[in-house]
Amino acid sequence: MIYHDIIIVGAGLAGLRAAIEASDLGKDVAVITKVHPLRSHSGAAQGGVNAALANNPDGRDDTPDKHAYDTVKGSDFLADQDAVDVMTNEAPARIYELEHWGCPFSRFKDGTIAQRPFGGAAYPRTCYGTDKTGHFMLHALYQQCVKRNIKFYEEFFVMKLVVEDNQARGVVALNLGTGDIVSFASSSVIFATGGSGRIYGKTTNAHVSTGLGVAIPFWEGVAIKDMEFIQFHPTGIIGKYILMTEGCRGEGGYLLNNAGERFMKNYVSEKIMELAPRDITSRCIQTEINQGRGINGGKYVYLDLRHLGKKKIMERLPGIRDICIDFLGVDPIKQPIPIHPVMHYTMGGIDTNFDGATSVRNFYAAGEAACVSVHGANRLGGNSLLETIVFGRRAGEHAAKNLKAEKEKNTRIAEKAKKEQVKYVEGLFKNGGKENPYEIKKQVSTVMDDKVGIFREETNMKKAVDEIKELRIRYNRDSRPVKSGKIYNYDLLWYLEMKGSIDIAVVIAAGALARKESRGSHSRTDFAKRDDDNWMKHTVAVFNDKAPVITYKPVVVTKYQPVERKY
């Protein structure tokens, strides 16, 4: 039985930033994380983080407003414009703050933070540290946590959010190291659990990004928003699906088809070329592949960096080169990189406002797990890292300022919830399952890859929804974790993770099926046009054991009226 005023679940960028803020405001904070903070998937972010610093000589007149417009346009006008303004206005302050905390950004000649062009942005405003920006930011924030002596519960796996009277009371977690189930009472809970990439099979996401962090509050009645918007990154390496940063194209890399042609010129203007937003670039690549212009007729095209030269690659993209050599045996200095679009990011998530608050009192969310809706239907590269530090901080601040400590009551409630979870886990171990849970989860992923991918279509998606529902029933009924010891029972962990993945998969597929238009990353072959009259609204899903209940809510429009999106 443990109590902290504020409990933060997840120790990626958003979680750490929230912890720092709440701790600086003098609150008793603890961070629960299922992996060591430095193993968080934030560290895998490569390209950079957007902020209108106007450091780049080619972008001296950049402003947060221009950043906001690019973001809204990139989102295909589904982003909430008030939230976007908050994000872009706070961006420079957050970047300077990170820099003061030691984040080793790359530099321009004049000693300022270097900025590179990125997809969908009219100005070069993506601040970067070589091609390891996420890694640098994660380490800088973790170091600040070390400085503040923030309490971490490492390798504690949160299984349940405790909610009573529509108010968060704490969480129940499994201590992986001992196998004990522990109750964490708190007066405020912030979820910063990251994305849901592992719902798909072909994804750039880490093994730990399963979507369970979205599923747990979902099960407690918290609404989740816009889950059908799944970003496919244009450039993931074949076979391993590891990300090749957008920075590759930002630095001037080419996309080539089997004829050695820069095919992007057939789709977008000559000025933009490879730097179109991710949804568009991914569709272009997929179209080339579908029409037989993949390399050797295969399911991939080339990302060519050779013309950048050895010096530039070693300076700006050393990590990319290492990955290519390690995982493909290809040296990008000498050979083009075989790539195809790969699931990369979930625009949707827990429905929050721009203070991180949700429909449940004292429950907050931030980062990829949340959907403030700054990304709308398609996120711009470099905005996800920005989202984590802006809204992570705001969630931490808001939670700390609105804190009403109710130690005794919450402890009692959390303890009761713990007992239920102990019973639940004991029940799981009682009878062995007939089916291999990993096998069922794999089938779910295949369905998602094949039928809820880049191009979507009615019949396929109907099939997908039915198949996943069927698989979900089999998973819960017929598969069980093995009854091995208590200490580091990873099988139990993965079993619970995949349960979350499957429930979120249902929401993605159902939301996609319902949305009869094409917008941003949601591209339907049977409804190829955007339909602002009927569909300029957010999908909101609420949990129900049979099927998620889907409703809609309006988009906040302030300055920018929707126009046709051209690049």
Partner 1 sequence: MEKTFRILRYDPEKDQEAHFQDYKVPYEKGLTVLEGLYYILENLDATLAFRSSCRAAICGSCAMHINGQYRLACRTQVSALNSDLITVRPLSHLTILKDLVVDLKPFFDNYKKIEPYLQPEKAEPAKEFTQSEKERGKIDKLVDCILCAACYGSCPVASTNPKYLGPQALVAALRFINDSRDGKTQERLAIVANDEGIFRCHTIFNCQQVCPKDIDPTNAILKLRGKSFMSKLTGKI
Catalytic machinery residues: 233, 249
Among 326, 408, 458, 466, binds partner 1 (CB under 8 A): 326
Question: Interacting stretch for partner 1, rule CB under 8 A, among 158-166, 389-397, 481-489, 505-513?
Answer: 481-489
Helix (H) or strand (E) holding 159: strand 156-164
312 in contact with partner 1 (CB under 8 A): no
Query: HEC profile for 408-471?
Result: HHHHHHHHHHHHHHHHHHHHHHHCCCCECHHHHHHHHHHHHHHHCCCEECHHHHHHHHHHHHHH
Which of the stretches 22-30, 98-106, 367-375, 529-537 binds partner 1 when contact is defined by CB under 8 A?
98-106
Out of 139, 151, 293, 361, the residue judged to bind partner 1 by CB under 8 A: 139
Of 81-89, 217-225, 270-278, 431-439: span binding partner 1 (CB under 8 A): 431-439
Q: By CB under 8 A, name the one of 163, 208, 284, 366 that touches partner 1.
A: 208
Distance CA 415, CA 441 (A): 32
- List the one residue from 66, 116, 135, 515 that touches partner 1 (CB under 8 A): 135
Question: Cβ-count burial of 25 within 10 angstroms (0-12 exposed, 13-18 middle, 19+ buried)?
Answer: middle
Judged by CB under 8 A, which of 57, 207, 434, 559 binds partner 1? Answer: 207
Q: Which of 1, 473, 482, 547 binds partner 1 (CB under 8 A)?
A: 482
Give the residue from 202, 165, 316, 322 showing the smallest Cα distance to 251.
316
Site string for partner 1, 438-467 (x = CB under 8 A): xx----------------------------
Q: Which of residues 53-82 bind partner 1 (CB under 8 A)?
A: 53
Contact between 308 and 193 under an 8 Å Cβ cutoff? The reply is no
Residue 267 or residue 327: which is nearer to partner 1 going by CB? 327
C-alpha–C-alpha distance, residues 517 and 340, integer Å: 25
Task: List, in sequence order, every residue forming a beta bridge with 346; answer none if it has no partner.
Answer: 230
Q: Which residues pair with 255 in a beta bridge?
A: 303
Q: How many CB atoms lie within 10 A of CB 59?
A: 18
For position 36 contacting partner 1 by CB under 8 A, the verdict is: yes
DSSP string, 309-359: HHHHHHHH-HHHHHHHHHHH---TTTSPEEEEEEEEEES-EEE--TTSB-S
- Range in contact with partner 1 (rule: CB under 8 A) among 62-70, 137-145, 210-218, 523-531: 137-145
Q: How crowded is residue 470: how many other Cβ atoms within 10 Å of its Cβ?
A: 13
d(CA 275, CA 57): 19
Q: Judged by CB under 8 A, which of 322, 426, 458, 470 binds partner 1? A: 322
Contacts with partner 1 by CB under 8 A lie at 35-36, 38-41, 43-44, 53, 95-96, 99-102, 104-113, 129, 132, 135-136, 139-140, 143-144, 146-147, 177, 206-208, 239-240, 242-243, 319, 322-323, 326-327, 329, 436, 438-439, 481-482, 484-491, 494
